[in-house]
């Protein structure tokens, strides 16, 4: 099994790169985000590799980090998620953003990926929620606030601030994280307007 490849970028395809390793060209499937971050042809690159062996083919999937590869593996444990869908999700959300979205049950963020409908996004969040913090740093305070929001047991100013930021177009995961930081900075008893102001300041960083 191949776990890592280091070589020279030969050329790019729509969904893959050909990596020249000592004269052998490996076709490596990658997410759009990974392809965008790789260097131009003729330059050196290294990819973490996941090898899929089938009766009719051997496919190599490449990632910029072991963490991204771990998410690729983990998502395929969920029914309805194959390699193509997992790559689509990683093309839409980087690993840190994906971890936060799943940990905070932000189904809308996950559903932005091509091929991921609301039901599959819900299944991903439900089945991987407990695993998300282990794969990427996710603030436990953000997770706690997201859980309280889902159960409708937040103080009204906090809930209203999250709703206001979401209505401004920010993804729920970002809104929750910003308001969590704002509430911590402002202390108990902060009003909605203050939390929104501090939350916007957090989002502008």
Q: Are residues 117 and 149 in the same domain?
A: no
pLDDT at 187 over 60: yes
HEC profile of the chain: CCCEEEEEEEEECCCEEEEEECCEEEEEECCHHHHHHCCCCCCEEEEEEEEEECCCCEEEEEECCHHHHHHHHHHCCCCCCCHHHHHHHHHHCCHHHHHHHHHCCCHHHHCCCCCCCHHHHHHHHHHHCCCHHHHCCCCHHHHHHHHHHHCCCCCHHHHHHHHHHHHCCCCHHHHHHHHHHHHHHHCCCCCHHHHHHHHHHHHCC
Instruction: Report the number of distinct structural domains present in the chain.
Output: 3
Q: Is the same domain home to 57 and 116?
A: no
Q: Do 178 and 205 belong together in one domain?
A: yes
**CA separation (Å) from 115 to 11, 65, 172?**
27, 24, 21
User: CA torsion, points 188, 191, 195, 198, in degrees to nearest 10?
Assistant: -90
Q: Do residues 9 and 66 make contact, with C-beta atoms less than 8 angstroms apart?
A: no
Domain membership of residue 145 as a residue range: 139-205
Q: What residues are paired with 3 via a beta bridge?
A: none
- Check whether 21 has a pLDDT greater than 90: yes
**Confidence band for 151, pLDDT divided at 50, 70 and 90:** very low
More confident residue, 61 or 103: 61
pLDDT in tens, 80-98: 999 999 999 999 988 878 8
What predicted TM-score, i.e. pTM, was given to this entire model?
Answer: 0.66
Q: Please report, for the domain that includes residue 17, its CATH number.
A: 2.40.50.140
Domain of residue 132, CATH code: 1.10.150.20
**Lowest-confidence range among 10-19, 31-40, 80-89, 100-109?**
100-109
Whole-angstrom distance, CA of residue 3 vs CA of residue 22: 17
Kindly report, residue by residue over 138-147, the tens digit of the pLDDT: 555 555 555 5
Residue from 68, 75, 132, 76 nearest 104 by CA: 132
Q: Is 14 a residue whose pLDDT tops 70?
A: yes
Beta-bridged to residue 52, according to DSSP, are 59
In the numeric block, which tokens belong to residue 181?
Answer: 């930081």
> Could you say which of 23, 48, 64 is where a domain stops?
64
Q: Is the pLDDT of residue 103 over 90?
A: no
């Amino acid at each position: 099994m191949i776990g890592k490849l280091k070589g020279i970028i030969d050329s790019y395809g729509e969904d893959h790169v050909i990596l020249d390793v000592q004269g052998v060209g490996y076709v490596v499937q990658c997410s759009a985000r990974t392809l965008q971050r790789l260097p131009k042809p003729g330059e050196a690159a290294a990819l973490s590799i996941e090898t899929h062996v089938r009766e009719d083919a051997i496919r190599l999937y490449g990632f910029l980090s072991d963490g991204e590869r771990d998410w690729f593996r983990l998502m395929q444990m969920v029914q309805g998620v194959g390699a193509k869908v997992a790559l689509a999700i990683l093309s839409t959300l980087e690993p840190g953003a994906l971890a936060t979205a799943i940990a905070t049950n932000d189904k809308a963020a996950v559903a932005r990926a091509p091929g991921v409908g609301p039901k599959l996004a819900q299944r991903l969040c439900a089945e991987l929620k407990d695993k998300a913090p282990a794969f990427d740093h996710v603030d436990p305070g953000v997770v706690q606030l997201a859980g309280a929001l889902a159960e409708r047991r937040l103080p009204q100013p906090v809930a209203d601030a999250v709703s206001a930021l979401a209505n401004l177009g920010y993804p729920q995961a970002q809104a929750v994280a910003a308001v969590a930081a704002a509430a911590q900075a402002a202390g108990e008893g902060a009003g909605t307007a203050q939390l929104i102001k501090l939350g916007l300041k957090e989002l502008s960083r």
